[in-house]
Structure 1
C-alpha cells in the first residue's frame, strides 16, 4: 500500500561561517488552521530581515535561520507551529551547543515564539504583529528580553489590543520588555517594513552581540520611529 512521506520541519542554511556565539531564529506567519504546506510568500516576507541580520550579525558570530514548518496552520491542540519550533531549538543546540537564541516570530510565528520562550537557550523574543491569545501564559518570560511591534489598527485575530494586554501582564516578569506601536499600522506593516526591520535588528544585536540597547524598556505604547 502506498504511504505518503511524513512531513518534517526544516531550517534554512546559514549564509555565514566561523564560530557561532548566538542564533536568531525566524518564525514566519501562517493560519489558525491549515494542513497545507506553508505558503512561500509568507516566508519570503522575512527574507530581507534575515539578510540584514546575517550581514550585521556575522562579525559577532550570530547565525540566522528561518524555520520551514510542516504545516501552514497552528491547528488547535496540535499546536504544530510550536511543535516545529521546539524541534528547531533542539536542532540548533545539536549544531551549535549551548549558545543564546533570539526567537523572532511574525503573526502566527509570534505565538510560537512566545509560547516556547521558556526554553533555557532563549535569551530574547521578538513578536512582529504577534498572535497572543487572551490568557496566554507569561511567567516563563522571566529573565528574557522582549520586543513587541504592532500596528495600532490591527484588529485581526492577532490584534494590537491582545498584544497590549499580554505585555501588561508580562512586564512584572520581564522588566526588559519593550512594545512599540505603529501609528495607522495594519497587521501586515508593509509600509513600515524598513523601520520594523531596523528595530528588530538592533534588538537582536543588543541581546546576542552586546551592542548598547536603543529600545524603550518598560514602555508599552512607544511609537515606532522611522528608520534613520
Structure 2
C-alpha cells in the first residue's frame, strides 16, 4: 500500500480550499529535498562545532548593539519578547486555528503546525550539542536585560520565523503568491535577525545558521509529515471502513 495520500482527494481539496492547499500536494523532487536537508543539517552542526568557542563576529554585535537605545532599543526588545518560546507557541496555536477556520480542513492545519514545530523544535538538539556561549554582555554598550544564559547557536527566534515563512511559502500554489510571500517573509526574517544582533543576544553566525536550518528542514518536515503521518492515517481510516463493510 502506498503511503502517499489519495492524489484525487488532495487535488479536489486543494482546489476547493485554495489557501495553503499546496501543503498537501504530492511532494516533487523528494530525493533532492532529503539530500539538501541532510547536507544543511550536517553543515550547521559542523560549523557550530568549529565556532563554538570563537568570537570572530563579536565586533559586528558590538557595532549593532551601539544602536540599542531609545526607540530602536524598545523595538528590538519587543521583537525578542514576541518570539520568545511561550509567545511563539501561543502564536503558532492561534495561527493554526486561523488556518483551520479559513480552510475548514484539519489536515491542512495539522501540516501547517507540524512543519513549523518540527523545524523549530529540532533545532534544540543542535543547541545542546554545540552549546555556544552568548555574546559577552559585559563588553557591550547596551547589555540586554535580563541576561540570556542558554546556548546561543543557533537562534531559536530566527529559526521560528524562518520556519513560519517557509511553511507559508510551501503552502501557496501560485508562483506569484509564493514570490510575494517570499519577499515579505525574507524582510521579516532579516528584520528579526537584525533585532537579535542589535539586542546583543546572538552572533550573526547564530542567525545565519538558523535561517539555513529553517530553509532546508521545513521542506523535509513537510515531506515526512504528509505521506507518512497523514497518508498512514488515511490508509488506516480506509482499512477500518473496509473492515466495517465486510462485517455487515
Q: What is the TM-score when the length of structure 1 is the normalising length?
A: 0.29
Higher relative contact order (CA 8 A, sep 6+): 2
User: Which protein has the bigger strand share?
Assistant: 1
